[in-house]
Amino acid sequence: MSDPPPEVVALAERRAAARAAKDFAASDALRDEIAGRGWVVRDGAGGWSLAVKPPYDVAPTLADLPDRSAMPDTRPVTVALLADGWPDDARRCVDALLAHTTAYVLVLDVADTFHTEHDRVEVLHVAACPGWAAGRTALLRADTATIHVVMDTSIEPTGDVVGPVLAAFEDPSVVAAGGWGVDVAEDWLVFDDAEPGDVDALLGYLFAVRRSAGLATPPHPKARFYRNADMEWSFALREAGGRVVMTPPLPATKHRHRGYHDTDPAYRDKESKRTYDRFLQRFRGRDDLRAVRR
């Protein structure tokens, strides 16, 4: 990749100074001027960086992505993927979905992880995403399907993973369904793998929700990391009314869960504990929200 020319670097430095002075109008104008010269400026914990502008639009923030939450349903199901690193995993997942299902695929691409052009795939590009819940809520708001499927890119369908999940929603009392579920232990400190049927919580490997229910009760906004956030969301959906069910085993291969194994352990453990502590404070002892086997 070529280095940015000195005049673009100078613009980026002026933009950084404008941001530091909270002159956001000037900052935005300089960002647009940088883009006009074929470069994108990105802000991170260590400061700003410059990259060649890709041949597609990249939204600066999640707030700049389309919000279609007020639109009526236009299709039965969408599989939503959060691609934040590991582009080969995203490619494998999307290719398998296209091969084995008829579902529409919506991808939130963070920092140029993934791009494709296919009539069943929509890719929303964003420069930065502050966490799992924020990204997942943005995908919900951008969708127009009756059933919104949260899926992790570590999953590779080997058959139709969507049909069995959609079948669960034929019962109007079901608000969420998925292929992997857990039940909480009596002390609320451990979750055990569940059997198909009503479950306490679903796991985010593949977690489908009625879009209307998901928009009314989205993931907790403070959930920056996915771990335990899927269980917290399941209980919130149950609290709002409706059943959460696990399907029989789905035809899929679970590959290395990079979101867990390849994330900084200190960050992973801190955010996982923060979410679980919040979950316990809100739901511990709420046996009325435990699943009733049918």
Question: In this structure, are residues 156 and 187 in contact, taking their beta carbons and an 8 Å threshold?
Answer: no
pLDDT averaged over every residue in the chain: 93
Predicted pLDDT of residue 128 = 86
> Sorting pLDDT into bands at 50, 70 and 90, what band is 2?
confident
Percentage of residues in the chain with pLDDT exceeding 70?
98
* The two structure tokens encoding residue 74: 């236009």
Over the stretch 5-38, which tens digit does the pLDDT of each residue have?
999 999 999 999 998 898 988 998 998 899 889 8
CB contact set of 95 (below 8 Å; sequence gap of 6+): none
**Rounded to whole angstroms, how far apart are CA atoms 259 and 256?**
9
CA 245 to chain centre: 20
Amino acid at 256: R
Over the stretch 179-235, which tens digit does the pLDDT of each residue have?
999 999 888 998 999 999 999 999 999 999 999 999 999 999 999 999 999 999 999
- For the beta carbon of residue 22, count every other beta carbon within 10 angstroms: 8
pLDDT above 90 for 56: no
pTM > 0.95: yes or no: no
